[in-house]
Homo-oligomer: A and B are copies of this chain.
Amino acid sequence: MAGICLLDSLEEAMALEVRSRIYYLTPAETPDTRTLVALVRRVLTAGVGMVQYRAKGLSTRRMVQDAEALLALTRPARVPLLINDRLDVALAVGADGAHVGAEDLPVPLARRLLGPYALLGATVKTPGEARQAERDGASYLGCGPLFPSPTKPEAPVVGPEGVAAIQRTVSLPICVIGGLTRENLPELRDLRPELVAVVSAVNDAPDPGRAAAELVAAARELWG
């Protein structure tokens, strides 16, 4: 049981000296902690730069257990672990931060709960939302869906132009998300996003570790 602790000086790390731009999001459902740990161990070995734990319909107790098990992997790898939505879980395990979307805690409240140094991602879709999230204390902005996404096919697409407009408005690091694959990654060359969130491209791949490694290599080739 880790307890509240850290969330201290990662804001600096968020000048994005993370080891790669590939930001791995766990599946929303995994049968048990052991399966999740095996999966995340493989994508960490593949070189992803950041991990986000997501869970739908699990008990808080199970989420805490999952998040603690993931921290035991990400800490030695010096890879930040963020928790989606559930700041209680993030605080309970002492994660490196959290990500909030439109249906989660408002950004100012999330920042107050996490303290000044934790990583706090916020989902935005427009330059106006981006400016507001920056003022409200977000550490990075998740922009998407960039392309139609298998996990959220109904969501209106932001597109590369939408992301470019957000980039011109704010100075925060940008995380693109939604429908990203090794094949369409080159279309983002000029955007130079600080983070590229991947979900289906890794989790639905026959070999998630290999898929993650290929994405890490592709990002490195495009942006160094």
* Chain A residues packing against B (C-beta within 8 Å): 1, 3-4, 59-62, 64, 85-89, 91-92, 102-106, 108-109, 112-113
Task: Pick from A59, A60, A64, A91 the residue with the most CB of B within 10 Å.
Answer: A60
A109–B61 CB distance below 8 A:
no
With A88-B87, A88-B88, A113-B88 as contacts: A1 and B61 at CB distance below 8 Å: no
Task: Pick from A85, A88, A109 the residue with the most CB of B within 10 Å.
Answer: A88
Interface residues of A: mostly helix, strand, loop or mixed?
helix
With A88-B86, A91-B113, A113-B91 as contacts: A103 and B3 at CB distance below 8 Å: no
**Cβ distance A160 to chain B, nearest Cβ, rounded Å:** 28
A61–B106 CB distance below 8 A:
yes
Taking CB atoms, residues of chain B closer than 8 Å to A60 are 85-86, 103-105
This chain's copy number in the assembly: 2
B108–A1 CB distance below 8 A:
yes
Q: Once the chains are docked, how many angstroms separate the CA of A3 from the CA of B85?
A: 17
A61–B105 CB distance below 8 A:
yes
B59–A4 CB distance below 8 A:
no
Q: Which of B86, B104, B106 touches A1 (beta carbons < 8 Å)?
A: B106
Q: Once the chains are docked, how many angstroms separate the CA of A108 from the CA of B92?
A: 10
Taking CB atoms, residues of chain B closer than 8 Å to A112 are 3-4
With A92-B109, A92-B113, A113-B88 as contacts: A104 and B3 at CB distance below 8 Å: no
Taking CB atoms, residues of chain B closer than 8 Å to A1 are 106, 108-109
B103–A64 CB distance below 8 A:
no
Taking CB atoms, residues of chain B closer than 8 Å to A89 are 88
- Return the 5 tightest CB-CB contacts between A and B, nearest first: A59-B103, A88-B88, A87-B88, A60-B104, A92-B109
